[in-house]
Structure 1
């Protein structure tokens, strides 16, 4: 048996826009299922919102998201989740960084860090914090 974990992001009406944006940055295919598609509409004003969506790319990138319905509590909090993107190709990570940085708040500029030759942290325009770095072998000695 194998297990795969996937980051699942929660929004309040922005899931479609966020997933479309992430697809523009990372590539891959976007799949969107609205509350209307699933015949699960509690509020007609939310029928077109996303009940389940994802972006999945051949390079291994995969993120899921949905719009929390208005009849449920939703508070994104200060730091509810960081999405970590680790890779081995500096050029590829730099391309993702440039895409995610559009309209974002840079929390840590992309550059060398004590544990990685390339590291950065950015809070995108949807309030999601992304951590990008080059994966290197860790020697605990």
Structure 2
């Protein structure tokens, strides 16, 4: 049996937009169900919001997301998580960085670091902080 860990992001009403953005960034496959699709509508205003969604790619990228309903407490907090993406080449990480950086706040510019040939950190327009680097063997 294999166990896999997947980042699951929680939003308040903009999960669809975020997942569509991540699909564009990664050229991935998007799968998504709304509360209406799942027959779980408790507030008609939230019927079209995402109850489950994910973006996957053939090279292993996988992120899930949903919209926390208004009836539940939601507080993203300050820097409560980072999404870390490690690639094998400078080219693949640079390509992802350039797309994620649109509308983002760069926290650490993409460049060489003491532990990786390329490293950078940004917070995208949805408030998700991404750490990207090129993996090396230690």
Equivalent positions of 1:1-141 (< 5 A) are: 1-138=1-138
Deviations 1:7-55 (A, max 9, x none): 0000000100000000000112101100000000010000000000000
In the alignment, structure 2 segments of 5+ residues that lack a partner are none
Give the Cα–Cα distance (whole angstroms) in 1 for the partners of residues 86 and 118 of structure 2: 10
Deviations 1:49-102 (A, max 9, x none): 000000011111000000000000000111111000001111111010000000
Runs of 4+ more than 2 Å apart: none
Give the Cα–Cα distance (whole angstroms) in 2 for the partners of residues 17 and 81 of structure 1: 20
Q: How many residues are matched?
A: 138
How much has 1:113 moved relative to structure 2? 0.4
RMSD after superposition: 0.5
Q: TM-score, normalised by structure 2?
A: 0.99
In the alignment, structure 1 segments of 5+ residues that lack a partner are none
How much has 1:124 moved relative to structure 2? 0.3
